[in-house]
Amino acid sequence: MKIIDINADVGTSVKKGDLLVQFAPETAQAELEQQQAAVEKAEATLEQAVADADRARGLTGSGALSKQQTTEYLITERKVKAELFSAQAALASVQLTLDRTRIYAVDDGVISERLASLGKVVTLGVVLFKLIRQNRVEWQAELPLKRLVDVKKGTKAIIPTPVGDIQGKVRLVSPTTSTDNGRVTVYVALNPEAGMPQPKTGILTSGYFVFDRTDAVTVPATAITLRDGFTYIFILDDADQPTVTRKRVQIGRRQNDRVELVSGIDKNDRLVTSGGAFLADGAVVRVSKGAETAKKMEASN
């Protein structure tokens, strides 16, 4: 169908039911009128068939009509009724096509993207607009499966920004996992405080979820080393000539400059807090003052 009128643009505030796009209705209107005529013809034919069938039923047993003629009238009545039902269904289908020549706003909100253009011929399923429903901007956070145990509808979330923290609550946890990275999308409805700028769409950002406080083994973020897609730390061995051992670990929550280690370390291990990218397993090192162990702390994010 061809677009002949557009009533909204990027940034336009719309109400539910507002007309956004009008397609050329001439073809659908002509089909509708043709099908209306077909329904009227079927109705007239049915009236005649019903009259003939009623007369045949009234003469049953009188001998005025043969049994075969009576049967033919009754069968014709049933056939014409079926033809009328078929014509009425076709009329409803054409009416639906005509209704679809007008696209209305499905909710109150603001148009965030417009892909419709005058004269464009579109097919079913083509996106014409993107709408921020109820002026709600959402944060779509991607979480690993192991973290979904703690996240549910209503879980509080915080996104730090240069002008202050934006708070929100989980609206929905996606029922499917991404085939690209194996993570699950969590939809968070944002609720900026009064005086803060409205969040914008299309921005890559990070934040954290607030759970009940639990103990966690944490290390400085600088102690984490990434190699070949895995996470490692270096542990200092107790020896006269100290060496380091590389350990693969699983990381969890973050709080300020600390990172939670879910597995792979003991809280009494001594670790290399920085420079791990330049070390190899078994490398000899010199210990400086202030060597740090993994810490146990309360984490709330």
41: pLDDT confidence band, cut at 50, 70 and 90?
A: very high
The CATH number given to 136-210 is: 2.40.30.170
Contact 5, 21 (CB under 8 A): yes
Give the span between the Cα atoms of 2 and 21, in whole angstroms: 10
Residue 217: exposure state from Cβ atoms within 10 A (0-12, 13-18, ≥19): buried
Position 293 pLDDT exceeds 70: no
Contact 159, 139 (CB under 8 A): yes
Average pLDDT over residues 66-79: 88
pTM recorded for the entire structure: 0.47
Give the span between the Cα atoms of 92 and 86, in whole angstroms: 10
Q: Could you say which of 3.40.50, 1.25.10, 1.20.1260, 1.10.287 is the CATH number of the domain covering 25-100?
A: 1.10.287
CA distances from 48 to 31, 54, 73, 77, 146 (A): 26, 10, 10, 9, 72
Position 300 pLDDT exceeds 50: no
Of 53-62, 225-234, 245-254, 289-298, the range with the lowest mean pLDDT is 289-298
So what's the pLDDT on residue 168?
87
Position 96 pLDDT exceeds 50: yes
Position 15 pLDDT exceeds 80: yes
Contact 236, 228 (CB under 8 A): no
Q: Which of 12-16, 228-232, 282-286, 293-297 has the highest mean pLDDT?
A: 12-16
Q: Could you say which of 3.60.150.10, 2.40.420.20, 2.40.30.10, 3.30.450.20 is the CATH number of the domain covering 214-299?
A: 2.40.420.20
Tell which residue, 188, 136, 183, has the closest CA to residue 157.
Answer: 188
What would the pLDDT profile of 148-187 be if each residue is shown by its tens digit?
A: 888 888 888 888 887 778 888 898 898 888 888 788 899 8
289: pLDDT confidence band, cut at 50, 70 and 90?
A: low
Average pLDDT over residues 294-298: 47
Give the span between the Cα atoms of 207 and 289, in whole angstroms: 35
* Domain ranges, ordered by start, for the chain: 25-100, 136-210, 214-299
Position 91 pLDDT exceeds 90: yes
So what's the pLDDT on residue 20?
92
Of 62-66, 102-106, 199-203, 218-222, the range with the lowest mean pLDDT is 199-203
Average pLDDT over residues 229-257: 82
47: pLDDT confidence band, cut at 50, 70 and 90?
A: very high
So what's the pLDDT on residue 90?
93
So what's the pLDDT on residue 298?
43
Position 86 pLDDT exceeds 90: yes
So what's the pLDDT on residue 197?
63
100: pLDDT confidence band, cut at 50, 70 and 90?
A: confident
What would the pLDDT profile of 108-143 be if each residue is shown by its tens digit?
A: 988 888 888 888 888 878 888 888 877 777 888 888
